[in-house]
Amino acid sequence: DFMRVLLGFGASLIILSAASVGFASDDAAAKVAAADAASGAKVYKMYCETCHGPAGAGDGAVGKTLTPPPRNFQTGDFKYGGKDQDIYDVISNGAASKGGSPLMAPWGAVVPEADRWALVKFIHTLKKK
């Protein structure tokens, strides 16, 4: 009986963990939906354009000198996942947090949370159709 209870508890934890991952994804989508892309554009111009370029092609003045080059947002391809939460995490914690280049700095301590969600929304607008 003890083992059955223990197994049931373990299965419940796994189900709850899986559900919380779904909620995190839904939460990120809701935060991006509520965000203001125009605010994101201002944040992008201030913090991102020098590397990622004015149109998000990865060709900013500083970006042209970097190896590896900055992400080209026009392609819509993201090295660490293209979901809203993935993009937000890289903006917040830097690419090195995912095993990537430390040249993509963490902006979480500099850019307020709402502005980082707005930035995610704006980045989606840079993808070429």
Whole-number average pLDDT of the chain: 86
Summarize the confidence of residues 28-43 as an average pLDDT. 94
Does the pLDDT at position 39 exceed 70? Answer: yes
Report pLDDT digits (tens) over 82-96: 999 999 999 999 999
> Rounded mean pLDDT of 15-34?
67
Q: How many residues does the chain have?
A: 129
Cα dist from 52 to 30, 61, 71, whole Å: 26, 9, 7
Short-list 70, 63, 76, CA closest to 123: 76
User: What does the pLDDT read at residue 96?
Assistant: 96
Centre a 10 Å sphere on the Cβ of residue 35 and count the other Cβ atoms it contains: 20
* Contact present, 126 and 56 (Cβ < 8 Å): yes
